[in-house]
Amino acid sequence: MAPAVFLLLVWMLVPLSMTVWFSLRSYLPLRGGDQGFVGLENFVRFVSSSAFWPSIVTTLMIVGGALLISIVFGILLAILLDQPMWGQGVVRILVIAPFFVMPTVSALVWKNMFMDPVNGLFAHLWRFFGADPVVWLSEMPIFALVVIVSWQWLPFATLILLTAIQSLDGEQMEAAEMDGAGPLSRFFYLTLPHLSRAITIVILIQTIFLLAVFAEIFVTTGGAFGTRTLTYLIYQRVLESQNVGLGSAGGVYAIILANIIALFLMRIVGKNLDR
Contacts of 49-53 with C-beta under 8 Å, sequence gap 24+, read 51/228, 51/233, 52/233
Tell how strand 33-37 and strand 25-28 pair up: antiparallel
Contact 185, 234 (CB under 8 A): no
234 binds another protein (CB under 8 A): yes
Sign of CA pseudo-dihedral 139, 100, 79, 266:
negative
Contact 229, 254 (CB under 8 A): no
230 binds another protein (CB under 8 A): yes
Nearer to another protein, 83 or 179 (CB): 83
151 binds another protein (CB under 8 A): yes
Residues 6+ apart with CB under 8 A from 165: 78, 79, 82, 191, 194, 195
59 binds another protein (CB under 8 A): no
Applying CB under 8 A, the span of 64-72, 147-155, 175-183, 184-192 interacting with another protein comes to: 147-155
Applying CB under 8 A, the span of 64-72, 174-182, 183-191, 223-231 interacting with another protein comes to: 223-231
Write down the least CB distance from residue 234 to another protein, Å. Answer: 5
Residues 8-37 within binding reach of another protein (CB under 8 A): 8, 10-12, 14-16, 18-19, 22, 27-33
HSE-up of residue 82 (Cα within 13 Å, Cβ side)? 20
40 binds another protein (CB under 8 A): no
Residues 63-122 within binding reach of another protein (CB under 8 A): 77, 80-81, 83-88, 90-106, 108-110, 112-114, 116-119, 121
259 binds another protein (CB under 8 A): yes
Among 154, 203, 206, 217, binds another protein (CB under 8 A): 154
Determine the size of the site formed for another protein (CB under 8 A).
128
192 binds another protein (CB under 8 A): no
Nearer to another protein, 181 or 261 (CB): 261
138 binds another protein (CB under 8 A): yes
Residues 6+ apart with CB under 8 A from 160: 74, 198, 201, 202
